[in-house]
A and B are shown apart, each in its own frame.
Chain A
């Protein structure tokens, strides 16, 4: 598998060691989105393929308050808007990267994108995630500072002190669909009665029955939740429930309900909308959206097998304890 990966990459990429110019795409050209909605042999809308969400990676999840209800920037303002967005990102970067930083801007797959959108959240109209309920706030206070995994302050006594992402399990739904530093691709495969969605980061697959069956009983909980889909016209609608108590999506845990909608947009790609419905956590429902574009094939991401960091972080924590003990 590994050698195949390298061969594909080797064919696809220039041999030079010097990395590409900012924003330059490398490798094969992505296919064009079909001009009409395609059908599978069994009659469902065909949304199969590899889809990228890189093109909206620079868009903040929530809209800056000063922009009010302005969901997109006018063409005449766009150049300056993007310039300032990138300049601000470059400026703050040193404070984010820790002492080693993480490299030049052309490293980042989300750099140089041209979206005119001001937030990924589209409802409420201010583009911001609604306030947490008092119950959710109390839950967060009770949870304390722990749970941040390698981005938190520890303690690191066991594998269970790491996040599901640290542990190569999943970034969690719906995070799996939103842009991150790399691996911003999703592969959709369909069969009669099923849609399978594979997320490149971590490489987990959500197998979604679209045959009308009911959700699993409430006592069965899953890392990605339990997904059930159906078609509304050309739109695939997926409702996911049965999350675990280790789910943590912006304050939501096991009561999280996510409703996703994938709609083919002829000539462009796929429209993805995701509604969070969790009255125990948020004061109202809210929705975020992404415009997906056709992408080239995904790479494998066997994450767990080589995840030396878990052992290294645990042994680092033991060494720190020992040093503290000796200092006393």
Chain B
């Protein structure tokens, strides 16, 4: 078993870094989206806005009564997406995707996304408007 040489150290570092949270993202999730309004959207991409400070994915979502709702999903900054391997072909119009996220506080058809799932189960991380924390979920199974 490895000794945890630096664990005390890291514990202190943790407290310091937590206090410095505002320094690591452009803006926070909490002020814009409602953690009490989780949404699961299956839709078709109509447009991707490659804009800073956060990208926006536009999707058409069919409701059970046959209507089409136009949703906007907030993703990561283009600069960060590009450096992580996204490109203009990553999410073309017409692509069917499943997005899990949280709806806007004002109730509009906007959500933040974190990852999206393609029909074959492949996932694409969209960066969200989160603050730079690694994955908190362990499930990597395709979403139903």
B106 at the interface (CB under 8 A from A): yes
Docked CA distance A183–B105 (Å): 28
* Interface majority SS (helix, strand, loop, mixed), chain B: loop
Residue B82 at the chain A interface, CB threshold 8 Å = yes
Contact A319 B14 (CB under 8 A): no
Tell me the residues in window 303-321 of chain A with beta carbons closer than 8 Å to chain B beta carbons.
303, 305-309, 312-313, 315-320
Contact between B26 and A97, CB atoms less than 8 A apart: no
Q: Are B2 and A94 in contact (CB under 8 A)?
A: no
Q: How far is the CA of A84 from the CA of B3 in the complex (A)?
A: 10
Residues of B within 8 A of A165 (CB): 26-27
Q: Is A149 an interface residue (CB 8 A)?
A: yes
Known: A175-B23, A306-B52. A60 touches B132 (CB 8 A): no
Determine if A88 and B10 form an interchain contact, defined as CB atoms under 8 angstroms apart: yes
With the chains together, A318 CA to B31 CA distance in Å?
12
Assess the A302–B85 pair: CB atoms within 8 A.
no
Number of A-B residue pairs at CB separation under 8 A? 264
**Does A43 count as interface, using CB distance less than 8 angstroms?**
no
Known: A168-B53, A302-B51. Is A103-B6 also a contact (CB below 8 A)?
no
Contacts of A60 in B (CB 8 A): 13, 16-17
Interface footprint category on A: 35 or more
Q: Does B8 contact A (CB under 8 A)?
A: yes
A98-B35, A100-B128, A165-B26 given; A9·B87 CB < 8 A: yes
* Chain B count of residues within 8 A CB distance of the other chain: 78
Stretch at the interface among A63-71, A189-197, A214-222, A259-267: A63-71
User: Cβ of B30 and Cβ of A200 under 8 Å apart?
Assistant: no
Contact B22 A105 (CB under 8 A): no
- Binary CB contact string for chain B from 87 to 129 against chain A (1 if under 8 A, 0 otherwise): 1111000000000011011111010101100000010110111
Contact call A306/B49, Cβ cutoff below 8 A: yes
Question: A65, B12: Cβ atoms under 8 Å?
Answer: yes
Query: Is A37's CB within 8 Å of the partner chain B?
Result: no
Judged by a CB distance under 8 angstroms, whether B68 is at the interface is no
Which of A13-21, A134-142, A235-243, A279-287 lies on the face that meets chain B?
A: A13-21
Task: Find out whether the CB atom of B133 lies under 8 angstroms from the CB atom of A97.
Answer: yes
Give A306's nearest chain B residue, CB to CB.
B51
Contact assessment for B82 and A13 in the assembled complex, using a CB-CB cutoff below 8 Å: yes
Q: Mark A88-104, 1 if CB is under 8 A from B, else 0.
A: 11101111111111111
Q: How far is the CB of B75 from chain A (nearest CB, A)?
A: 10
| Residues in B neighbouring A159, C-beta threshold 8 A | none
Give the 4 A-B residue pairs with the shortest CB-CB distance, closest first.
A102-B130, A316-B105, A97-B133, A306-B51
B-side residues, CB < 8 A to A, are 2, 4-14, 16-18, 20-35, 49-54, 56, 74, 76-80, 82-90, 101-102, 104-108, 110, 112, 114-115, 122, 124-125, 127-137
> Residues on A close to B: CB < 8 A?
2, 5-6, 9-10, 13-20, 26-27, 60-62, 64-67, 77, 80-81, 84-85, 87-90, 92-109, 148-152, 154, 156, 163, 165-166, 168, 171, 175, 178, 180-183, 200, 299, 301-303, 305-309, 312-313, 315-320
Show 17 A/B contacts (Cβ-Cβ < 8 Å), sorted by A.
A67-B9, A84-B10, A88-B14, A95-B133, A100-B130, A102-B133, A105-B134, A107-B80, A107-B127, A107-B134, A108-B132, A150-B30, A150-B31, A180-B23, A181-B24, A182-B80, A316-B32
